[in-house]
Amino acid sequence: MKSEHMRECRKKKWEAVISEEESSYYYYIERYADLFLETRVMSKQFTVVADAQYALGITKFLVNDLGLFPAKQFVVDDTPREYQENVRSYFKDLNYNIEAEVSFDTDGFNIHNEIKAHDYHGYPLILGGHWEKEVAKQTNAHFLNVSWPVNERLIMNSYYTGYEGGLKLIEDIYSVAKNKIQLV
């Protein structure tokens, strides 16, 4: 009986923390929604080149929270074959019945050729490792270094997980997009 009460108390505390974080997140999203819609600096489609966990998390966030459309996503962590179909199913479970095609490939040459061959209908958004910086230049893409190797910046205490991580990812993407527009 006592342990059940303790579990219920912990559950209420976690729910309060989640509710507070969610409120803070939507506070910022609501205040900056006009900026996102009016500046028109964002790409229509995006590609993530990362390990399975980051590729899926970022893809779900960009589709479900920001309303962006996924081009092909690339998982580069050599996911064992017996888990690939399970991972692939999560890329098909996005809001609005949107599905993202996913490729399990560790060959950067193949990945870069597929990125170059895709019609992004405007500026692509490429989120990947430092190796994708060159293909981003070749395709005139917005590029954000989110996966290994990270050579673009020093990371000591930064992350793209949770509500704060989502806001950080939005900040970084829009900063890259705005800087690119200012350079043109």
> With bands split at pLDDT 50, 70 and 90, how would you rate the model's confidence at 39?
low
**Within 10 A of 65 (CB to CB), how many other CB atoms are there?**
14
pLDDT in tens, 68-124: 999 999 999 999 999 999 999 999 999 999 999 999 999 999 999 999 999 998 889
Which CA distances in Å does 144 have to 4, 88, 90? 46, 23, 23
> Which of 30 and 130 is assigned the larger pLDDT?
130
Residues contacting residue 153 through CB under 8 Å, at least 6 positions apart: 145
C-alpha 29/C-alpha 49 separation (Å) is: 26
Determine the pLDDT at residue 151.
81
Higher pLDDT, 36 or 175: 175
- Structure pTM? 0.88
- Beta strands, E only, the chain: 45-50, 69-70, 73-75, 102-104, 125-128, 142-145
| Contacts of residue 173, Cβ cutoff 8 Å, sequence gap at least 6 | 42, 125, 127, 142, 144
| Cα torsion 116, 91, 20, 67: sign | positive
**Cα dist from 59 to 48, 90, 91, 111, whole Å:** 7, 10, 8, 17
Which two structure tokens, joined as six digits, stand for 22? Answer: 């969610």
* 37 has a pLDDT exceeding 80: no
- For 4-18, the pLDDT digits (tens) are 888 999 999 999 999
